Structure 1
Amino acid sequence: MHDRSSVTLKLSYWIDELSKWAGAVGAFASIALALLIVYDASMRYIFHEGSVALQELEWHLFDILFLMGLSYALKHDKHVRVDILYTRFSPRFQELVKIVSMLFFVIPLGLLVVWYSWDFVLQSYLQHEGSPDPGGLCCRYIIKSFVIVAFVLLILQAVSETVKSLYRLKELR
């Protein structure tokens, strides 16, 4: 029988792996975005041909890059924080700050975004929402659903970070 701590740490590891894959999706989106921008700009300025769909696809790839990077940034501690104060804290107090910030800020904010995004995505799907521009992309619900996916991943990563901080806090005693 597994003890509770090993199961919890394994769960944390799997969440970290999910965030790693989300980061890989974001990295792929950044490469695709760069190539698409070069192609689109070349077509517009050299051949005087533009595409609304390509421009919208650029925005969608940027959205994917940003949204999939949220949990990855949290996993690698590259998120926004006031480091001038944080770095002066003791290791124990740093772990406490992490735990409190995850439990009272990141997770509740993530839950709020997921809760309010659900109807947003559902309405888009039910209405078969597409671009209002001629020649634009269809199926806007696909890109809108990335908001839900990204914030679920962020919530999971916040849980993982909380678990790891609790274990580090226990070791600092």
Structure 2
Amino acid sequence: MKFVHAIEGLSLWVGRAFGWCILILTLSVSYEVFVRYVLNAPTVWSFDMMVQMYGALFLMCGAYALAQDTHVRADVLYRLFPVRVQAVLDFVLYFLFFFPGILALVWYGYEIASDSWRYKEVSFNSPASIQIYFFKSLIPLSGALLMIQGFAELVRCVMAMRTGIWPERLADVKETEDLLTEADLDQISAMAPARK
């Protein structure tokens, strides 16, 4: 379990670090709106900054989302299955779909990034001609992080197949809806003994 939590810890750390891109993104959008519509002096760099911050956030938080089990899942039937069946299903699907896709992301992402570094690529859509080879380096890096987190998920599946219980995940932030549901359940369970 230490192996799984170590990998999850790495994914959480990277996700939290790149989560700051949201603040940079928000500030640059706010600044651009102000200078464009109030001062009538738009910038040439703001749009590029926004695209790169959003792209970095999207790429680098994938492993974080996988570690927190927050990727979108069509679980209409899945959630009704016993834990062991869920684990077998997840295990098989990781090998059939997840790992081939992530391997392609790492392989072709590396080719794209290395070509970009070789040419010192700049954005042709940008009036500022900003360099984008740094940004393209995040493509294979994000794939490698997803691959590592995927191995942790396989170990988690094996443990669930053996015990019939999903191992605990490292806790991080929770959705407000989940917090409200937990508070409601706590309130209901606190009221139950009083009724007896």
Q: Is the shorter-chain TM-score for this pair beyond 0.5, marking a shared fold?
A: yes
For residue 52 of structure 1, give the secondary structure of its aligned residue in structure 2: coil
Deviations 1:5-55 (A, max 9, x none): xxxx33322211111012112311111111111111111111111222221
Matches within 5 A, 1:59-74: 59-74=51-66
Aligned match of 1:6 = none
Aligned match of 1:135 = 128
TM-score by length of 1: 0.89
Whose helix fraction is larger, Structure 1's or Structure 2's? 1
Identity of aligned residues (%): 29
> In structure 2, what residue type is equivalent to 1:134?
P
Aligned match of 2:90 = 98
Q: For residues 25 and 102 of structure 1, what CA distance do their matches in structure 2 show? A: 26
**Structure with max Cα Rg:** 2
Q: For residues 103 and 25 of structure 1, what CA distance do their matches in structure 2 show? A: 29
Deviations 1:72-129 (A, max 9, x none): 1111111121111211111111111111122221111101111111111111111111
Matches within 5 A, 1:32-111: 32-111=24-103
Q: Do the aligned residues in 1 keep the contact of 2:110 with 2:139 (CA within 8 Å)?
A: no
- The unaligned stretches of length 5 or more in structure 1 are 1-8
- The unaligned stretches of length 5 or more in structure 2 are 166-196
Aligned match of 2:178 = none
Which is worse superposed, 54-63 or 25-34? Answer: 25-34
Once the two structures are TM-superposed, the CA of residue 136 in structure 1 deviates from its matched residue by: 3.3
Say yes or no: does 1:121 pair with 2:125: no
> In structure 1, what residue type is equivalent to 2:15?
G
Say yes or no: does 1:15 pair with 2:1: no
Q: Do the aligned residues in 1 keep the contact of 2:83 with 2:160 (CA within 8 Å)?
A: no
Q: For residues 136 and 41 of structure 1, what CA distance do their matches in structure 2 show? A: 21
Q: Do the aligned residues in 1 keep the contact of 2:87 with 2:161 (CA within 8 Å)?
A: yes
Q: Do the aligned residues in 2 keep the contact of 1:102 with 1:159 (CA within 8 Å)?
A: no
Q: Aligned-pair RMSD on alpha carbons?
A: 1.5
Once the two structures are TM-superposed, the CA of residue 151 in structure 1 deviates from its matched residue by: 1.0
Once the two structures are TM-superposed, the CA of residue 131 in structure 1 deviates from its matched residue by: 2.0
**CA separation of 1:121 and 1:63: change in aligned 2, threshold 3 A:** same
> Structure 1 stretches (4+) deviating beyond 3 angstroms?
none
The number of residue pairs the alignment matches comes to: 164
